Amino acid sequence: MTVSKQVILSHQEINHKIRRIAYQIYESNVDGTEVILAGIDSNGYILAKKLKTNLDKISDLNTVLCKVGIDKKSPLNPITTSIDASEYTNKSIVLIDDVLNSGTTLIYGVKHFLNVPLKQFKTAVLVNRNHKKFPVKADFKGISLSTSLHEHVEVILTGKTYEAFLK
């Protein structure tokens, strides 16, 4: 049995969503000088890098990338960040992932960053699936989808063509 896939975001649409989210992040930090873009490893971090590229073009904000390591199968395991907590204390942070499904990964990521005082904390996702088990929301989102629990959203942000599809 072959699994069909339905494209929900094309390469051009993904680039457009990334640019729009970058503008939203800039608008929410317009009075600041720095923002930490904390991308959840792998696709969240790739998305964070693409947002940084866009933010660097449209703003004079100092954008700092931070890779966040979360064991998605066991989110209670220790979370790692590529920068020390002192580097994001009292700063603006945007926690970024590709898909917000149940909210598990995002809520544990949020919990980790709340161990230090922050100036502002926001979340950004490319695809919001609306199947949350936890009270976490995406402040910035590319697209919201109402899907069944049996469907799976996959996002490809590497290579020459980006794509988000439903399987």
- Give the pLDDT of residue 133: 78
CATH fold for the domain made of 6-166: Rossmann fold (3.40.50)
Residue 57 has pLDDT above 70, yes or no: yes
Residue 2 has pLDDT above 60, yes or no: no
- Give the pLDDT of residue 51: 98
For 128, other C-beta atoms within 10 Å of its C-beta total 22
The percent of residues above 70 in pLDDT, for the chain, comes to 98
Q: Return the HEC string of the chain.
A: CCCCCEEEECHHHHHHHHHHHHHHHHHHCCCCCEEEEEEECCHHHHHHHHHHHHHHHHCCCEEEEEEEECCCCCCCCCCEECCCHHHCCCCEEEEEEEEECCCHHHHHHHHHHCCCCCCEEEEEEEEECCCCCCCCCCCEEEEECCCCCCCCEEEECCCCCCEEEEC
- Give the pLDDT of residue 3: 58
pLDDT per residue as tens digits for the range 105-118: 899 999 999 999 99
- Give the pLDDT of residue 94: 98
